[in-house]
């Protein structure tokens, strides 16, 4: 599954209901409850990142939940990309 030219983004990275030790990687104020791979894909597309969805896979520490993942090309630091995507997800949820 490891791809050298892509970052893997799991929904748990953006989940405000999770702690850092459970897998959240963005600040709690940028997280949203129960994000979906579709929300991550949409936010990444809005940022021009060419996301790809991989369905039916589970985050390693929560193997009973097959949430899927999103891959994006490496263009910037992963932390900056995740924060930009998180901001877009929050903005998209507020608009709907």
Beta bridge partners of 8: 71
For the chain, what are the domain ranges? 6-95
Q: Across residues 47-75, what is the average pLDDT?
A: 91
CATH of span 6-95: 3.30.56.30
pTM score, two decimals? 0.91
Band (pLDDT 50/70/90 cuts) for residue 60 is: confident
Is the pLDDT at 96 greater than 80, yes or no?
A: no
Where is average pLDDT lowest: 32-36, 60-64, 68-72? Answer: 60-64
Beta bridge partners of 53: 70
């Amino acid at each position: 599954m490891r791809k050298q030219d892509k970052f893997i983004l799991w929904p748990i990275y953006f989940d405000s209901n999770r702690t850092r030790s459970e897998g959240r990687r963005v600040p709690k104020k940028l997280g949203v409850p129960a994000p979906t791979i579709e929300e991550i894909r949409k936010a990444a597309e809005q940022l021009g990142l060419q996301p790809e969805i991989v369905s039916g896979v589970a985050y390693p520490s929560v193997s009973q939940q097959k949430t899927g993942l999103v891959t994006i090309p490496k263009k910037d630091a992963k932390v900056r990309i995740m924060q930009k995507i998180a901001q877009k997800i929050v903005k998209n949820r507020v608009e709907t």
